[in-house]
Amino acid sequence: MGKEAKEKKPLTENSIDTTVNLHRLTHSIQFKKKATRAVREIRKLVSKLMRTPDVRIESKLNEFIWSNGIRNLPKKVRVRVSRKRNDEDAEKKSEWYSLVQHIDVDNFSNRLTEKSKSS
């Protein structure tokens, strides 16, 4: 009657387009810490979503988050999260890493999470 342990599927290269609500992630955070906390929360969210401890945020996304200053964040941001194999280092921490890229959109209505097999 107990829950049976499911086998986890092996990780593969894939990407997901999703919307991150920065307003919700940084609610009740001190003004002078909002932008840094937003970046940290995106890392935490992506790490959980893609099951990779190594999360790399592209500089365009970082500039978009910081575009209005440290206090006035954009309410939402559309991102593409890609899981890729870590072939760069011989002394790699993990086999996979996640790359988070900014997608510029005018309107967030009717935007759902879209998955694709290869990036």
- Third-level CATH fold of 19-87+94-108: Ribosomal Protein L31e; Chain: W; (3.10.440)
Q: What is the pTM (predicted TM-score) of this model?
A: 0.86
For residues 16-34, give the mean pLDDT: 96
Give the confidence band of 2 by pLDDT, cuts at 50, 70, 90.
low
What's residue 118's pLDDT?
58
Any idea where the domains of the chain sit in the sequence? 19-87+94-108
The whole-number pLDDT of residue 18 equals: 94
Q: In this predicted structure, what is the pLDDT of residue 52?
A: 93
pLDDT digits (tens, 9 = 90+) for 60-119: 999 999 999 999 999 999 999 999 998 876 567 788 999 999 999 999 888 888 887 654
Instruction: Return the HEC string of the chain.
Output: CCCCCCCCCCCCCEEEEEEEEHHHHCCCCCHHHHHHHHHHHHHHHHHHHHCCCCEEECHHHHHHHCCCCCCCCCCEEEEEEEEEECCCCCCCCCCEEEEEEEECCCCCCCCCCEEECCC
CA-CA-CA-CA torsion sign (26, 30, 35, 36): negative
